[in-house]
Amino acid sequence: MVNRCSLAAFLAAAAFSMGSCGGPPVVSPGPTSAGTAPSVAVATASDATPAATAPPTATAPPTAAGPTDWPTYHGDALRTGQAAGFPSPAGGLAQAWSAALDGAVYGQPLGVRGMVIAATENDSVYALDPTSGRVVWRRHLGEPVSLSTLPCGNIDPLGITGTPVYDAATGSLFVVAELSGPQHVLFALDAVSGAVRWSRVVDLPGDDPRTHQQRAALAVGSGHVYVGFGGLAGDCGQYTGKVVGVSTSDSGATIAYLVPVAREGAVWATGGPVVDGAGNLYVSVGNGSSTTVYDGSDSVLELSPALRLESRFAPATWAQDNASDADLGSLSPVLVAGGWVLIAGKSGTGYVLRQGALGGIGGQVSAAPVCAAFGGAAVSGSTVYVPCSDGVRRIDIRSGGLIHVAWRTGSGANGPPVLGGGAVFSLATGGGQLFALSPATGGTVASIAVGPLPHFASPSLWNGLVLVGTLRGVTAVTPRP
């Protein structure tokens, strides 16, 4: 296990570089000038297994995203995936437009300030006109990393992978780009013009940027933007999972929580950190290298806004999960009405936990077979729509936190779902199709081809459009009532 005290002392004394650039809302290079190197503060709360008897703090039931913006993955900080007032697809689906961009769009498109925002693996961020897909502005942040220069992986080139996030309080659009070098840089863009307001390297001292990948969706809360890190496909080399926090105003030290593993422990689920009403973060963690002494991996974490560990859960089978790469890190935690948390990882077992007191090792409220789940779920009240590798499932959390599997779709839709217009929208990631499903039965209401898709692709619902990031750009679909 990592010596947390010595590591914290090292990181607190270390620094890393920051760059910034600006310019008109057209193509621009990456960081061009060095700034004052900020310090790094690592949370020092004990990484011993938290007590399972801490009093639970129930979060208010998730609420639907507002109709104006879709500013983050699944629409809101709770990642509910709901779009209020969205039109029904009962009359079918039609393509509105398709925009070919300069690279694959792995992150969920956003709807911000009247524009569609998309980021590509070529390290470009685009604002598109929602009526036509016309490019309003493009900001090229630097050169992406060629897969041939990395020890493993499955994205080529590797640029912007995690879904960006928009912060209404500052008007900034935040995105992490992997730049040639390599290095991971957090950029704050002016959402209206695309101008770069500031940037900061978010690799921590001692990191090997070649073995780390930023895939989780970014999150904003408590005046910080939060960034999850894991490894490349293949889990090669020395890397450790972590959550990094930077002030939305670029002030103060970078804060971080490091999973206390010898290696691995990725925070990579594409849904990213889930932020509750008190500003606490819920994240899932992948497998670690240990199968003897528990190392903080294969877990769900509750972190404070300052990224201190508040509570944690790990299955009693963590050692077997680590040995077989069957961990919980593939799905972001789901906050469910009634003070529950649902998690289901690669093993196929779903667990219900208590918000605010996750239970420690083997401390779940209930467990049941669910599926191998990947990405981010959608939630409405006590009903959760889970993206399973063999098709979306509807899960109802019943009295006492019991799991009931209501249905599994046979349509082939297996991507992270979203909710709107009385339908569940999900992508068949292998077949390049968008499906609208019945929430009651999982049956197909409508479907349409949208083009080749990246792993774990998820649509956005905004301004009467279903927005889909593809391996070629963005496709917009219109529901027909």
Q: Read out DSSP for 30-65?
A: S--EE-PPPBEEE--S--SPPPTTSPP-PPPPP-PB
Q: CA nearest 240: which of 5, 7, 6?
A: 7
Q: Does domain 4-21+50-479 have CATH number 1.20.1560.10?
A: no
User: Are 304 and 41 in contact, with CB atoms under 8 Å apart?
Assistant: no
The two three-digit tokens of residue 331, written as one number: 């799905």
Other residues' Cβ atoms within 10 Å of the Cβ of residue 330 = 26
Contact 350, 370 (CB under 8 A): yes
Q: Which two tokens stand for residue 240?
A: 């450790």
* Cβ-based neighbour number of residue 34 at 10 Å: 11
Pair of tokens at residue 405: 């599997």
For 24, counting Cβ atoms within 10 Å of its Cβ (0-12 exposed, 13-18 middle, 19+ buried), the class is: exposed
Half-sphere exposure of 397 (CA within 13 A, CB side): 29
Cα angle for residues 294, 296, 302 (degrees, 5° grid)? 140
- Strand, coil or helix: 236: coil
In single-letter form, the type of residue at position 250 comes to D
CB-based contacts of 241, cutoff 8 Å, min separation 6: 228, 229, 230, 231, 258, 259, 261, 264, 265, 266, 267, 268, 285, 286, 297, 329
* Residue of 443, 430, 418, 434 lying closest to 93 (CA atoms): 434
Tokens 């004394």 locate to: 13
Cα–Cα distance measured from residue 185 to residue 250, given in angstroms and rounded to the nearest whole number: 13
Per-residue pLDDT of the chain (481 residues; tens, 9 = 90+): 333 333 333 333 333 333 333 332 222 223 333 333 445 776 634 443 333 333 333 333 333 433 479 999 999 999 999 999 999 999 999 999 999 999 999 999 999 999 999 999 999 999 999 999 999 999 999 999 999 999 999 999 999 999 999 999 999 999 999 999 999 999 999 999 999 999 999 999 999 999 999 999 999 999 999 999 999 999 999 999 999 999 999 999 999 999 999 999 999 999 999 999 999 999 999 999 999 999 999 999 999 999 999 999 999 999 999 999 999 999 999 999 999 999 999 999 999 999 999 999 999 999 999 999 999 999 999 999 999 999 999 999 999 999 999 999 999 999 999 999 999 999 999 999 999 999 999 999 999 999 999 999 999 999 999 999 999 999 999 999 8
How would you class 230 by CB atoms within 10 Å of its CB: exposed for 0-12, middle for 13-18, buried for 19 or more?
A: buried
Q: How far apart are CA 264 and CA 258, in angstroms?
A: 11
Cβ atoms 293, 319 nearer than 8 A? no
Query: Between the CA of residue 393 and those of 385, 407, 408, 409, what are the distances in Å?
Result: 6, 6, 4, 7
Both structure tokens of 58:
């129930």
Q: Which two tokens stand for residue 468?
A: 């889909």
- Please list, in sequence order, all residues whose beta carbon lies within 8 angstroms of the beta carbon of residue 68, skipping any fewer than 6 positions away: none
Q: What confidence score (pLDDT) does residue 46 get?
A: 41
Report residue 271: phi and psi, to 5°: -70, -20
Q: What is the pTM of this model?
A: 0.89
Rounded CA separation 69/191 (Å): 12
Tokens 């990947």 belong to 374
Count of other CB atoms within 10 angstroms of residue 411: 20
Quick check: 313 and 33 in contact, CB under 8 A?
no
Read off the tokens for 478: 């219109």
The tokens describing 442, both together, are: 């999982």
Instruction: State the DSSP H helix or E strand holding residue 12, giving kind and residue range, or none if neither.
Output: helix 4-13
Distances from the Cα of 100 to the Cα of 118, 135, 247, angstroms: 11, 10, 34
Distances (CA, A) of 210 to 196, 329, 353, 370: 25, 21, 35, 35
Phi/psi at 216 (nearest 5 deg)?
-70, 145
